A and B are shown apart, each in its own frame.
Chain A
Amino acid sequence: MTTDPTDAPGADVVLESVSRTFGRGDAAVHALRDVSVSFAPGSSTAVWGPSGSGKSTLLHVVGAVDVPTSGRVVVGGRDLAAMTATERTVFRRREVGFVFQAFHLVPSLTVFENAATPFMLDGLLDAERREMVGDLLDRVGLGDKLAKYPDQLSGGQRQRVAIARAVVREPAVVLADEPTGNLDERSGREILELLAPHRARSPMTLLVATHSPDVRDWCDAVVSVRDGCVAPEDDRREPPSFAETLAEAAR
Chain B
Amino acid sequence: MSGWPGGRFGLVRGLILGDAKRHPLSLLLTVLGVTLGVAVVVGVDTAVDACTRGFAASVRSIVGDTSHRIEPASGTMADEAFAELRLAMPDLLATPVIDRRVRILPLEGAPEGEPTRLGRIIGLDVLSAADVAADQGIEEALEDASFQSFIAEPGAVVMVKPLAERVGAEVGTRLRVDMGDAVRSVHVVSIIELEPPARSTVTDLMVADIATAQELFSMPGHLDRVDIAPRDDAELEAVRGVLPVGVSVRTLDDAAGAIEELIGAYRLNLLALSFMASFVAVFIVYNATLIGAERRSGTLGTLRCVGMRSVGIAGVFVIEAAVIGLIGAAVGVFAGLWLASGLVELVSATIGDLYTRVNPVEVSLSPVSAAKAAVVGLVSALAGAAAPTVLASRTPPMSAFRATERADRSWAWSMVLALAAVGCLALAWVFVVWPQGSIVGAFAVAGFTATGFALVALPATKVASALASVLAGGHRSGRALPPLLAARGVGRSIGVTGVAVAATALAMAMNIGLLTMVGSFRHAVLTWLDGRYQSDLYIAPALALEHRVPATLSPELIAAVEAHPDVAGPVMPYRHVNIELGGLPALLTATDLRRTLDGGLLQLVDGDTRSALDALDGEPPGAATPVYISQPLAVKLGFRPGDTISLPAPEEPFPAFVAGVYTDFVADRGTVLIDRTVFRAVWHDDGLNAAHVSLEPHARGEGAAARFADVWGAEFPVVVHDHADIRSETKRIFDRTFRITDVLAWLAGLVALFGLGGAVLALAASRTRELATLSALGMSRGQLLARSATEAALLGLTAWVLALIAGSALAWILADVIQYRSFGWSFPLRPAPVSWGVALAFVVAAAVVGGLAPSLLVRKDTLVRGLGDE
Instruction: Identify the A interface with B (CB < 8 A).
Output: 22, 60, 63, 65-66, 85-86, 89-94, 96, 98, 100-102, 104-109, 113, 116-121, 123-127, 130, 149, 151-152, 165
A93 to B770, CA, bound (A): 16
- Name the A residues within 8 Å of B407 (CB-CB): 149, 151
The reply on B368 being an interface residue by CB < 8 A is no
A117 to B772, CA, bound (A): 14
- Name the B residues within 8 Å of A22 (CB-CB): 861
Cβ-defined contact, A108 with B485, below 8 A: yes
- The 0/1 profile, CB within 8 Å of A marked 1, for residues 255-294 of chain B is 0000000000000000000000000000000000000000
Cβ-defined contact, B777 with A92, below 8 A: yes
A116 to B777, CA, bound (A): 11
A89 to B769, CA, bound (A): 17
Using known A-B contacts A65-B864, A106-B774, A125-B477, determine if residue A89 contacts B779 with beta carbons closer than 8 Å.
yes
Other-chain contact of A104, B477, B478, B773 (Cβ < 8 Å) = B773
The reply on B402 being an interface residue by CB < 8 A is yes
Best-buried of A22, A91, A104, A105 by chain B (most CB within 10 Å)? A104
Other-chain contact of B778, A60, A90, A107, A108 (Cβ < 8 Å) = A90
- Name the B residues within 8 Å of A105 (CB-CB): 773
- Contacts beyond the supplied A85-B781, A96-B778, A165-B777: 13 A-B pairs with Cβ under 8 Å: A65-B867, A86-B781, A92-B777, A93-B777, A104-B772, A107-B403, A107-B770, A108-B489, A109-B485, A118-B778, A120-B481, A124-B477, A151-B407
Other-chain contact of A121, B481, B491, B769, B772 (Cβ < 8 Å) = B481
- Name the B residues within 8 Å of A152 (CB-CB): 404
Cβ-defined contact, B776 with A92, below 8 A: yes
Cβ-defined contact, B478 with A94, below 8 A: no
Cβ-defined contact, A65 with B477, below 8 A: no
Cβ-defined contact, A121 with B778, below 8 A: yes
Rounded to whole Å, the gap between the CB of B190 and the closest CB of chain A is: 77
Rounded to whole Å, the gap between the CB of A117 and the closest CB of chain B is: 6
Residue of A nearest to B778 (CB): A93
The reply on B775 being an interface residue by CB < 8 A is yes
The reply on B869 being an interface residue by CB < 8 A is yes
The reply on B184 being an interface residue by CB < 8 A is no
The reply on B564 being an interface residue by CB < 8 A is no
- Name the B residues within 8 Å of A116 (CB-CB): 478
Rounded to whole Å, the gap between the CB of B764 and the closest CB of chain A is: 14
Residues B457-485 near A (CB distance < 8 A): 476-479, 481, 484-485
- Name the B residues within 8 Å of A91 (CB-CB): 778
Interface of chain B, main secondary structure: helix
Residue of A nearest to B863 (CB): A65
- Name the A residues within 8 Å of B773 (CB-CB): 100, 104-106
Other-chain contact of B488, A109, A120, A126 (Cβ < 8 Å) = A109
Cβ-defined contact, A101 with B478, below 8 A: no
Rounded to whole Å, the gap between the CB of A161 and the closest CB of chain B is: 12
Cβ-defined contact, B477 with A89, below 8 A: no
Cβ-defined contact, A108 with B492, below 8 A: yes
- The 0/1 profile, CB within 8 Å of A marked 1, for residues 769-798 of chain B is 110111111111101000000000000000
Residues of B within 8 A of A (CB-CB), count: 33
- Name the B residues within 8 Å of A104 (CB-CB): 769, 772-773, 776, 867
Which 7 pairs show the lowest CB-CB distances between chains A and B? A93-B778, A125-B478, A120-B478, A123-B479, A108-B488, A104-B773, A151-B404
A206 to B211, CA, bound (A): 109
Other-chain contact of B476, A93, A102, A126 (Cβ < 8 Å) = A126
A166 to B779, CA, bound (A): 14
- Name the B residues within 8 Å of A98 (CB-CB): 776-777
A109 to B404, CA, bound (A): 13
Best-buried of A86, A106, A151, A152 by chain B (most CB within 10 Å)? A106
Residue of B nearest to A104 (CB): B773
Rounded to whole Å, the gap between the CB of B404 and the closest CB of chain A is: 4
- Name the A residues within 8 Å of B478 (CB-CB): 116, 119-121, 123-125
A108 to B472, CA, bound (A): 13
Other-chain contact of B779, A102, A109, A121, A165 (Cβ < 8 Å) = A121
A191 to B769, CA, bound (A): 23
Best-buried of A63, A85, A92, A119 by chain B (most CB within 10 Å)? A92
Cβ-defined contact, B867 with A94, below 8 A: no
Residue of B nearest to A98 (CB): B776
Other-chain contact of A66, B476, B492, B770, B864 (Cβ < 8 Å) = B864
A65 to B858, CA, bound (A): 13
Using known A-B contacts A89-B779, A121-B778, determine if residue A106 contacts B770 with beta carbons closer than 8 Å.
yes
Instruction: Identify the B interface with A (CB < 8 A).
Output: 402-404, 407, 476-479, 481, 484-485, 488-489, 491-492, 769-770, 772-781, 783, 861, 863-864, 867, 869
Cβ-defined contact, A92 with B778, below 8 A: yes
- Name the A residues within 8 Å of B777 (CB-CB): 92-93, 98, 117-118, 121, 165
A67 to B119, CA, bound (A): 77
Rounded to whole Å, the gap between the CB of A94 and the closest CB of chain B is: 7
- Name the A residues within 8 Å of B783 (CB-CB): 121
A66 to B866, CA, bound (A): 12
Can you identify 18 A-B contacts, CB atoms within 8 angstroms?
A: A63-B776, A65-B776, A66-B864, A90-B778, A93-B779, A102-B869, A104-B769, A105-B773, A106-B773, A116-B478, A117-B777, A118-B777, A119-B478, A126-B476, A127-B476, A149-B404, A151-B402, A165-B777
Best-buried of B492, B777, B779 by chain A (most CB within 10 Å)? B777
Rounded to whole Å, the gap between the CB of A111 and the closest CB of chain B is: 14
- Name the A residues within 8 Å of B769 (CB-CB): 104
Rounded to whole Å, the gap between the CB of B772 and the closest CB of chain A is: 8
Cβ-defined contact, A107 with B779, below 8 A: no
- Name the B residues within 8 Å of A93 (CB-CB): 777-779
- Name the A residues within 8 Å of B781 (CB-CB): 85-86, 89
- Name the A residues within 8 Å of B779 (CB-CB): 89, 93, 121
Other-chain contact of A123, B402, B404, B477, B869 (Cβ < 8 Å) = B477
A228 to B129, CA, bound (A): 96
- Name the A residues within 8 Å of B476 (CB-CB): 125-127, 130
- Name the B residues within 8 Å of A130 (CB-CB): 476
Cβ-defined contact, B403 with A151, below 8 A: yes
- Name the B residues within 8 Å of A102 (CB-CB): 869
Rounded to whole Å, the gap between the CB of B482 and the closest CB of chain A is: 9
A15 to B861, CA, bound (A): 21
Cβ-defined contact, A101 with B863, below 8 A: no
Cβ-defined contact, A94 with B778, below 8 A: yes
Using known A-B contacts A107-B770, A117-B481, A119-B478, determine if residue A100 contacts B780 with beta carbons closer than 8 Å.
no
Best-buried of B407, B478, B864 by chain A (most CB within 10 Å)? B478
A149 to B477, CA, bound (A): 21
- Name the A residues within 8 Å of B402 (CB-CB): 151
Residue of A nearest to B485 (CB): A108
Rounded to whole Å, the gap between the CB of B218 and the closest CB of chain A is: 82
Rounded to whole Å, the gap between the CB of A152 and the closest CB of chain B is: 6
Residue of A nearest to B406 (CB): A151
Cβ-defined contact, A89 with B481, below 8 A: no
Cβ-defined contact, A89 with B775, below 8 A: yes
- Name the A residues within 8 Å of B772 (CB-CB): 104
Residue of A nearest to B493 (CB): A108
Cβ-defined contact, B770 with A89, below 8 A: no
Rounded to whole Å, the gap between the CB of A136 and the closest CB of chain B is: 15
- Name the B residues within 8 Å of A85 (CB-CB): 781
A130 to B491, CA, bound (A): 25
- Name the A residues within 8 Å of B403 (CB-CB): 107, 151
Residue of B nearest to A177 (CB): B867
A165 to B407, CA, bound (A): 24
A118 to B783, CA, bound (A): 13
Best-buried of A89, A105, A108, A151 by chain B (most CB within 10 Å)? A108
A93 to B781, CA, bound (A): 13
A124 to B479, CA, bound (A): 7
Best-buried of B769, B778, B781 by chain A (most CB within 10 Å)? B778
- Name the A residues within 8 Å of B864 (CB-CB): 60, 65-66
- Name the B residues within 8 Å of A65 (CB-CB): 776, 863-864, 867
Residue of B nearest to A86 (CB): B780
- Name the B residues within 8 Å of A118 (CB-CB): 777-778
A108 to B486, CA, bound (A): 9
